[in-house]
Chains A and B, each alone.
Chain A
Amino acid sequence: MRTSFVFSEVVTGLRRNVTMTIAMIITTAISLGLLGGGLLVVSMIDKMQTNYSGKLEVAVYLTNDVSVNDKDCSQQPCAGLRSALEKTSGVESVVFENREKGFERFKAIFEAQPELVKLARPEAIPATFRVKLEDPERSDVVVQAFTGKAGVKNVDDQGKFLSRLFDVLNGIRNAAFAIALVQAFAALLLISNTIQVSAFTRRTEVGIMRLVGATRWYTQLPFLIEAVVAGVIGALVAVVGLMLGKAFFLDRVLRDPIQSGILPQLGQLDVLLISPYLLLTAIVISAVTGYVTLRLYVRL
């Protein structure tokens, strides 16, 4: 196999129908970009899950009455609630946080927004049991058992908020995948069409190759490589696009939730980590489409 010959054929082929090649690259890039976006959301969700697991708590807010009168949880109903919580199965630890401590914590969380801290009064913060569970998924037990009990104002499950957030992220991921799929189909048709056009414009060469006894691989390989090269360029464009999109769009739009720690920071490394998958997808799709097209539509 003379590689120099095959590659010079590939370059001629790509140059000869350059508009089709560009269309092919753009479609592939968009499709892979969306696929990559979806994969980034997946890795974001993973990061969030590791970030939050072990930190997720159920907060049992106590009534104003308890918050004012019982600073160290030595009286009823606070002491009773504490021991009941500690005895509940699945509970790992229970920490009591009185109004003053809660206010300190509030100030620490909203350090960046001094006007909010200025407005807040310690009286607005209830005393709280922070309950850590062995399995954050099974928070329902605590919520059901303690909601409405004497001394309890309300029970707040942080996991509930988080699962809503996960729902949104999953939705974004699914939408990205769905559009990627449609785009992939368009890319597939374009690849197939480009190969057919390419084979037609080179029918004299191909005819001669057949006649002088070139093997099937020799005649087909330039077309296949042409498709794969366009696919790989598409994948590279997609990766660069994702990096730029991350740096100039995502990082700006999500600056606040990332800084406050709700959403994890995605690095350029994360984009690089998914790029092999994008490349592989591009190669597999273009090679398979190319091969099938040559088999079905092009007599070589």
Chain B
Amino acid sequence: MIRLEHVSKVYKTSTRPALDDVSVEMDKGEFVFLIGPSGSGKSTFLRLLLREEVPSRGRVYVSNFDVAKMSRRRVPRLRQSIGCVFQDFRLLSNKTVAENVAFALEVIGKPRNTIVKVVPEVLQLVGLEGKADRLPHELSGGEQQRVAIARAFVNRPLVLIADEPTGNLDPDTSQDIMLLLERINRTGTTVVMATHDHSIVDSMRRRVVELSLGRVVRDDARGVYGVGR
């Protein structure tokens, strides 16, 4: 589903590569934690998958997209098959929960009748039924992240990318969010999650890819956060 072949990324403003000869493969339906200290290259890794960045060397494949080589015109197609969740939720403050989720479908031109059908479904999936008409500031942090996950998942992406989705949440709420991501993963969606949260990684026992200074230093099929430290 995701394959990086000898990928390096050097930013113009930096002498040290953000990613240095990284080769990783992630299968369909996998749940992968991407860990490592700040500056280790996690964000660059995720940005390459979304083609927010183009690698300096190497190749990136997501599903059947040759991400590095594809034309700009096809980038929207790639992004429609990837859902994204961030630490800061990135909800539109002037739109309700339902409108926030519907927005993701409206802007890719989905027909109205599809939208009114699938939005309540996905809100139910993330446990926000009954809160469709609330505004983001009326919700707790955990609920806001659920809206963000609903928005990322509503178009049934092949891959869900989560960049420290629990970074702003307390441990209990984080646990709920992880259960939700697991449920989404069980539908066959590949989940790639960058995180600093030891307890989550340790409790989930999923695949762990650790980056350090732009290199893959560990790739355990059922790993924990702190091994070898």
Contacts and interface: CB of A to CB of B under 8 A. Distances in A.
Interface in B66-84: 72-73, 75-82, 84
Given A213-B108, A214-B108, A218-B108, A208 B77 contact: no
Given A211-B84, A213-B77, A214-B76, A1 B108 contact: no
B227 interface: no
Contacts of B104: 208, 212
Nearest to B82: A213
Given A213-B80, A215-B76, A216-B76, A208 B90 contact: yes
A207 interface: yes
Task: Specify which of B75, B76, B82, B104 lies most central, judged by the most chain A CB atoms within 10 Å of its CB.
Answer: B76
Contacts of A212: 79-80, 84, 104, 107-108, 151, 155
Interface residues of B, number: 24
Nearest to B78: A213
B107 A5 contact: yes
A205 B92 contact: yes
Contact of B92 (A1, A5, A208, A219): A208
A204 B76 contact: no
B49 to A, nearest CB: 12
A207 B148 CA distance: 14
Contacts, number: 52
Contacts of B77: 213
Interface residues of A, number: 17
A246 interface: no
Interface in B41-100: 50, 72-73, 75-82, 84, 90, 92
A211 B50 contact: yes
Nearest to A211: B84
A205 B100 CA distance: 10
A2 interface: yes
Interface of A: 1-2, 5, 204-205, 207-216, 218-219
Interface of B: 50, 72-73, 75-82, 84, 90, 92, 103-104, 106-109, 111-112, 151, 155
12 contacts: A2-B109, A2-B111, A205-B103, A207-B90, A209-B107, A211-B50, A212-B80, A212-B104, A212-B107, A214-B107, A214-B108, A216-B76
